[in-house]
Structure 1
Amino acid sequence: MQSTVGIGQTSVAPCLHFWTPGLFDFKGGIQVFSQFLLQNLQALYPQIQYDVFSMHDRDPASQRDRYLPQTKFWGQGQIPIRLRTPTFAAQIVSMGLWQRPNLVLTTHLNFTVAAHRLKQLAGVPYWTMAHGFEAWEIDRPQVRQALTNADRILAVSHYTRDRMLAGLEIDPDRIHVLPNTFGAERFQVAEKPAALLEHHGLRRDQPVILTVNRLAAGESFHSYDQILAALPQIRSAIPDVHYLIVGGGNDRQRLEKLIRAQNLQDCVTLAGFIPDEELPAYYNLCDVFAMPSKLEGFGIVYLEAMASGKPVVGGQDGAIDALDRGRLGAIVNPDDVAEIATTLTQILQQQYPNPLLYQPPALREAVVQTFGPLGFQQRLSTLMADSPLLQPLLIPSNSFS
C-alpha cells in the first residue's frame, strides 16, 4: 500500500499494531475507551495501516464498517478461555515479528509483557494505556519490567499517573495524561421520562439520586454502600428522596440484604442491568448522579451524567480529573458518610456553592468543551506528533473542525 509522505515522495504506509482486550463483545470502560482511541487515531491518520488484535472479541471483522477499509482485525474470542491468553500472546508476538510494525499500542498494561518481548527481539517500540486500579499496584515483576521499558505510557488521569509514579521506578517524562472522552451526542438535557417515572413509581417532583455501577462482590469498596449509609441523614432533610442503583452483578444479593437491614426498601430501587441505549433516559430521570468511589481511574459515567445536565458527586480518585478538580462537580471523601450526606442534601436543595451545577445547559457545554471528542482528538494529536519516535511515522490529516 502506498502513501504520499511529501511532495514527489511516496513510501509504504506505516503500520500500527493495536492490541486490546476487546472492542465489541463486552462493554466496559477499557473497551469503550479503546473504541474511541482507535476511531480518533484513524480520523487523524487515515494513511496508516491498522492491524487490530482483540483478545476477547469473537468476530471483530464484522464491525469493520466503523473503521477505515485498510483496517485488519484478528480476534481470539472463539478460543476457550483457559487457552486464550497464551494463544493471543503467541499471535501478537509472531505477527509483530513478521510485520515489524512501526509502533505497538496496547490498551491494557498486561499486554506490555508481550510488547517488551517483541521490542527485545525486533526493536519494535511500544506504548500502553494505564486506566485504573490495575495500574496503581503492580505486583507481577514481568509487568513492572515491561512498563519501565515502555516508550510511552498514556494515563487516563493525573491520579493514575501519580499512583504509577509512586509505585514504579520510571521516568516521569514518559508518562503522559490522555483523559477519557465520551459520545457526547448521546446525552442531552431533557425532562424526566414519563415512562421511567411510571415504571419506578416516582413523582416528577421527587428528588432522585442515581448511581450507575456494576455490582461486583469481590471489590473492596462499594460507593453505593456509602450512599445507603448516608440516606437516613439525607431523608431527615428530604423525606421523599429516592435512590436508584443501575447495574448488574454478583453483589446484588448482599446489597438486597443490606437494604432490608437498614429498613430502606421504600426509598431504594435496584434497577439491575439496563441496555446501553436506555442509559441516557436514566440520567435524565435523576436529580443528582453520585458515585463517591475509591476505584475509578477516571469514570466515563461522570461525563455522561454531566452532559445530561446533572450535578455529579465523585470521590477522591480519578473522579478528581473527571470533575476538573471540583469545577464541574462535587468531590467528597468517600469514607466520610456525613460529608456525602451533607453534599447530596445541599445539591438537592440547591445550596451547594457551585452555581454551575444548577445550570444544565451550561454544565453540558462545559463538560463537552473539556472532555468531548474534539478536545480528545487534539490532545491525541499533540501526543503523537510530539514524539521524535513518531515523526517519520505520522503525518496528521487536517481533521479538526
Structure 2
Amino acid sequence: MPWQKQLIHFWIPNIFEFKGGIQTYSAFLVEALQSLYPDKKYEVFLKHDTCSSPDFSFLENTRFHFAGSLPLRFRTFFFAAQILTNSFYKKPNLVITTHLNFSIAAYWLKRSIGIPYWTVVHGVEAWDIQRPDLKTALQHADRIISVSKYTRDRLLKEQQIDPAKISLLPNTFDADRFQIAPKPEYLLKRYGLTVNNSIILTVARLDKTEQYKGYDQIIQALPEIRRYVPNVHYILVGKGSDRSRIEQLIAQLNLQENVTLAGFIPDSELNDHYNLCDVFAMPSKGEGFGIVYLEALACGKPTLGGNQDGAIDALCDGQLGALVDPDNIIEIAQTLTKILQGNYSHPIMYQPEMLRQKVIDIYGFDRFKQTLKEITQTLK
C-alpha cells in the first residue's frame, strides 16, 4: 500500500516529560515522518508520559495514548494491553518501535495478524543481547533503524541479522535552538567565574548505571590539567544517584575550587551552558551516539569524546572533534590541556562558524529528514 494511505503506530517510551537521547530521537522521528507524509494517520503510544507538551508541534491527525499516569508496577502490563488491543482493532499498516524492548510485542503482533514492524536501535540496549525473545524480535523485524554505524556494526557482529535489513539514520538536533553566543554573564556570576576561566563542560545524567559517561575520568584528569591551565574549571551538568560518589571523589582530589556540580538545569539554559564553556568533553565508552556532542558543536565549541562508542559517529571519526581512549586519564588530561591552550592540532576545532556549519550539514534536521525519505522510498 502506498505510504501516503497508511496508518502508522509509534510505540515510544516517552517524549514529553523526560528528554534523554531516545526521547529526543523519537520526537524527531515522528516529526520527520509527519513532515514527509502529512496525509498519513498516526497513533503514538507513550508508556511513561501522562500528557503532551506545547513545546512540540504535531499534525492534527496524530492521536496520542498515554500510560504514564498508572503506578509503575502496573504500567508495563497496561501499555502492552493498550498497544496490542488497539493494533488488533485498527490493524495499522506499520508499527515503529523506538525502543528495542517493545519489538517483542511487535513480533507477536506480526505473527498473529501479519502487521510489519520497524525497530530503532540506539546503543547499550542493542549491544551484547542475550535474551532469546529480543534476538527473535530483531531477526523478524522488517526494518532495523540504527542511530550510528557503531551500533549497526556491533549488531551485525553479535547477532545473526541480514545486513540489508538495517538502515542508518543518525541522530539529529535543533539547530535553531543551539546557536553561537558570548559567555553568558549571569552564568559566570552564578558559578563565581570570569571570562578568564578555562571552562570544561559535561552534560550527562549522574546515574550509577551511567558512569560510562566519563565524568570520573575528567575529574581525575583535572590535577594534571591544572598544572598547565591553573584557571581551569569543570562544570558537570546533570542530576542522579551518582552525585554523592562524585562529591567524594572531588574531595579526595582536593578539587572543590575547580569543579561545580550544577545539578539539574532547565532546557532554556542549556544553550547558554554550552556557550559558557571553552570545551565540551564527554569521554564516554557506552554512548550509542550522543546528541550533546551535536548541540555543543552547533554552539561552535571544541568537543572531545571517547573512541570506543557512538561518539566516533557523532564526531565523524575525529573530523569534528577530538577522540581519546576513555580509560586513559593521561591522554584525556593532555588532550584537554592542548585544546584549552589553543594548540590542539585540528583543522577546524578553533573555527566556531565552520564547526557549526559542518555539524548542521551532516546531522541537521533537513539531512535527517532526507535520509528517512530515502529509506521509506526504498521500501515502498
What is the TM-score normalised by the length of structure 1? 0.92
Conserved 8 A contact 2:221-2:332: yes
Aligned match of 1:22: 14
State whether structure 2 residue 237 is matched by structure 1 residue 249.
Answer: no
CA distance in 2, matches of 1:12, 1:42: 10
Aligned match of 2:47: 55
State whether structure 2 residue 155 is matched by structure 1 residue 164.
Answer: yes
Conserved 8 A contact 1:23-1:32: yes
Aligned match of 1:8: none
State whether structure 2 residue 254 is matched by structure 1 residue 259.
Answer: no
Conserved 8 A contact 2:289-2:313: yes
Residues 142-181 of structure 1: pairs in structure 2 closer than 5 A: 142-181=133-172
Q: Which has the larger radius of gyration?
A: 1
How many residue pairs match? The answer is: 379
Shift of 1:76: 0.6
CA distance in 1, matches of 2:25, 2:211: 24
TM-superposition CA deviations, 1:106-153 (whole Å, max 9, x none): 100100000000000111100000011011122221111101110110
Shift of 1:220: 5.0
CA distance in 1, matches of 2:55, 2:367: 25
Aligned match of 2:181: 190
CA distance in 1, matches of 2:102, 2:82: 12
CA distance in 1, matches of 2:119, 2:4: 25
Aligned match of 2:71: 80
2:280 partner SS? strand
Q: What amino acid maps onto 1:47 in structure 2?
A: D
CA distance in 2, matches of 1:310, 1:368: 14
Structure 2: give runs of 5+ residues left out of the alignment. Answer: none
1:352 partner SS? coil
Structure 1: give runs of 5+ residues left out of the alignment. Answer: 6-10, 392-401
* Residue among 20, 31, 42 paired with 2:23: 31
* Stretches of 4+ aligned residues off by more than 3 angstroms: 62-65
State whether structure 2 residue 329 is matched by structure 1 residue 344.
Answer: no
Shift of 1:13: 3.2
2:349 partner SS? helix
* Residue among 96, 120, 123 paired with 1:129: 120
Conserved 8 A contact 1:64-1:71: no
Shift of 1:352: 1.1
1:58 partner SS? coil
Q: What amino acid maps onto 1:251 in structure 2?
A: D
Residues 1-400 of structure 1: pairs in structure 2 closer than 5 A: 13-60=5-52, 66-219=57-210, 221-316=212-307, 317-387=309-379, 391=380
CA distance in 2, matches of 1:367, 1:335: 27
1:314 partner SS? strand
Conserved 8 A contact 2:4-2:37: no
Q: What amino acid maps onto 1:373 in structure 2?
A: F
Conserved 8 A contact 1:154-1:175: yes
Shift of 1:218: 2.9
Q: What amino acid maps onto 1:308 in structure 2?
A: C
Summarize the Cα distance change of 1:375–1:310 in structure 2 as closer, same or farther, 3 Å threshold: same
